């Protein structure tokens, strides 16, 4: 019943309650008629005023009630993680099996592994929904040995999915990734190859790796290839991306394999962004402006990343997050006779000190910085779990993802923006790379030669 009906009912009630005419003449009947008429005029006047006001205002439909989201930041983060997929673009767990000759039964992931950042209890606690596993191979492997070692890493990922079929599901597309998480309630398991040395200068090997399920390749690791310069290389032997490197980028675009620019030199970033037809990623890098390491990304390149519609996935390594930690690492390493154990002991003490420790808040600072520079649509998560020695306090294993999103809630990020960072932006890039691949294949369906 609307407000107008209520008024009409009141009017009807007022009229009907007036005393009936009597055949006898009474003194009081004229005042009663006057009062009834006056009441009717007042009601009609109010009605007209309300009608005029409503005519001046456009109709605004009622706002639906907002969902019952917890106000506590941590509980709010858990709510978002429960209802949306969390995707991490870089985890080095497969490399941990190298210590056991790639024997996946040597580590029981169903129980807590104190020496690892990743196991199934931590995955459940952290609400991980999709993981691009790094099939990393050290630069100490070269030539055919690097190709073989990469294939063995891929084999580890497949065997982990077989060993824990209720937890992991291999995915090779955006649709399969979403289905694994939303329909099958498993961790979608994709693969990314870390370092162009893994293909041994062979585009044929690159295509074979794509067929095996690899969906991104980092163009270099800490060593340059003959066709791409690494951020660690100052020799000048290779500058940026060569013509052969540009052919590799094109073939990655054609196949639908994401081009990853983490680890590469700035000139390689520029050359790759000039060459690519598809969005690119930085699978595990941060903002150079906040931590001055060549592994991070300059503002100028971040602006180009936005123009490319790509994404930078935030790395959790303390030396790429906190400038103070990075400088302490350099200081300790420069001390005469300070061994690796000595450096580690010093950095452990640095992290144990609440006044100096690199924390989850510092990770959020990188997200803030990039968001303010180019927007929230180009940020994701690329932790580097099980690939680095020192992680921020509050983000020391896979189970602690909620702490980061709770921090973003405290910083008043909208739920929409948090979900973009969790997986939305990375899934968009993966889908756009697939779409661009389909377009390129219409013109170049088959590659005849290398």
Q: Are 131 and 88 in contact (CB under 8 A)?
A: yes
Q: Which of 92, 251, 362, 365 is catalytic?
A: 92
DSSP string, 218-252: ES-SSS--SSB-BTT--S-SS-SB-HHHHHHHHHH
Concerning whether 303 is annotated as a catalytic residue, the answer is no
Q: Which of 76, 127, 221, 366 is catalytic?
A: 221
Q: Which of 90, 127, 197, 366 is catalytic?
A: 90
> What element of type H or E holds 77?
helix 73-83
DSSP string, 116-156: -S--HHHHHHHT--EEEEE----TT--HHHHHHHHHHHHHH
Q: Which of 271, 328, 362, 384 is catalytic?
A: 384
Bridge partners, 192 (sequence order): 134, 216
Q: Which of 76, 127, 197, 263 is catalytic?
A: 263
Concerning whether 263 is annotated as a catalytic residue, the answer is yes
Q: Return the ∠ at Cα 234 (arms to 193 and 136), rounded to 5°.
A: 15
Concerning whether 185 is annotated as a catalytic residue, the answer is no
Concerning whether 194 is annotated as a catalytic residue, the answer is yes
Burial bucket for residue 125 (CB in 10 Å: 0-12, 13-18, 19+) = middle
Written as six digits, the tokens of 25 are 């003449």
Q: Which of 127, 197, 284, 366 is catalytic?
A: 284
Q: Which residue has the tokens 């585009």?
A: 203
Q: Are 219 and 268 in contact (CB under 8 A)?
A: yes
Q: Which of 194, 362, 368, 407 is catalytic?
A: 194
Concerning whether 127 is annotated as a catalytic residue, the answer is no
Among 380, 363, 393, 305, smallest CA distance to 90 is for 380
Neighbours of 266 (CB within 10 A): 17
Q: Is the dihedral of CA 136, 138, 143, 146 positive or negative?
A: negative
Question: Which amino acids are annotated catalytic?
Answer: 90, 92, 194, 221, 263, 284, 384
């Amino acid at each position: 019943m609307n407000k107008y009906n209520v008024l009409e009912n009141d009017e009807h009630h007022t009229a009907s309650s007036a005393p009936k005419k009597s055949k006898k003449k009474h003194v009081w009947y004229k005042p009663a008629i006057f009062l009834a008429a006056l009441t009717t005029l007042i009601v009609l006047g109010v009605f007209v005023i309300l009608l005029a006001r409503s005519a001046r205002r456009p109709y605004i439909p009622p706002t639906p009630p907002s969902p019952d989201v917890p106000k506590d930041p941590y509980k709010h983060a858990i709510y978002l993680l429960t209802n949306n997929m969390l995707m991490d673009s870089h985890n080095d767990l497969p490399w941990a099996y190298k210590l056991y000759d790639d024997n996946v039964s040597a580590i029981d992931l169903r129980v807590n592994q104190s020496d690892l950042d990743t196991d199934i209890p931590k995955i459940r606690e952290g609400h991980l929904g999709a993981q691009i596993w790094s099939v990393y191979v050290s630069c100490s492997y070269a030539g055919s040995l690097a190709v073989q070692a990469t294939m063995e890493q891929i084999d580890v990922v497949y065997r982990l999915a077989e060993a824990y079929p209720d937890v992991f599901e291999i995915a090779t597309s955006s649709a399969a990734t979403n289905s694994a998480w939303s329909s099958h309630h498993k961790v979608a398991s994709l693969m990314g190859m870390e370092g162009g040395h893994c293909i041994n200068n062979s585009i044929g090997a690159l295509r074979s790796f794509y067929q095996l399920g690899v969906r991104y390749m980092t163009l270099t690791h800490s060593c340059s290839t003959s066709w791409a310069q690494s951020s660690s290389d100052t020799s000048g032997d290779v500058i940026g991306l060569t013509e052969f490197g540009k052919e590799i980028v094109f073939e990655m675009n054609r196949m639908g394999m994401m081009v990853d620019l983490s680890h590469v030199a700035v000139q390689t970033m520029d050359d790759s962004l000039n060459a690519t037809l598809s969005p690119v990623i930085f699978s595990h890098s941060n903002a150079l402006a906040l931590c001055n390491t060549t592994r991070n990304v300059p503002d100028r390149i971040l602006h180009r990343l936005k123009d490319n519609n790509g994404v930078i996935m935030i790395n959790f390594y303390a030396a790429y997050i906190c400038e103070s930690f990075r400088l302490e690492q350099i200081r300790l390493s420069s001390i005469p006779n300070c061994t690796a154990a000595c450096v580690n002991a010093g950095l452990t003490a640095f992290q144990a000190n609440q006044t100096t420790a690199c924390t989850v808040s510092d990770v959020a600072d990188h997200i803030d910085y990039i968001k303010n520079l180019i927007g929230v649509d180009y940020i994701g998560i690329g932790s580097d779990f099980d690939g680095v020695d020192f992680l921020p306090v509050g983000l020391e294993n896979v189970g602690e993802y909620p702490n980061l999103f709770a921090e973003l809630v405290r910083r008043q990020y909208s739920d929409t923006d948090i979900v973009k960072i969790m997986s939305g932006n990375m899934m968009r890039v993966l889908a756009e790379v697939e779409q661009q691949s389909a377009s390129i294949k219409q013109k170049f369906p088959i590659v005849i030669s290398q």
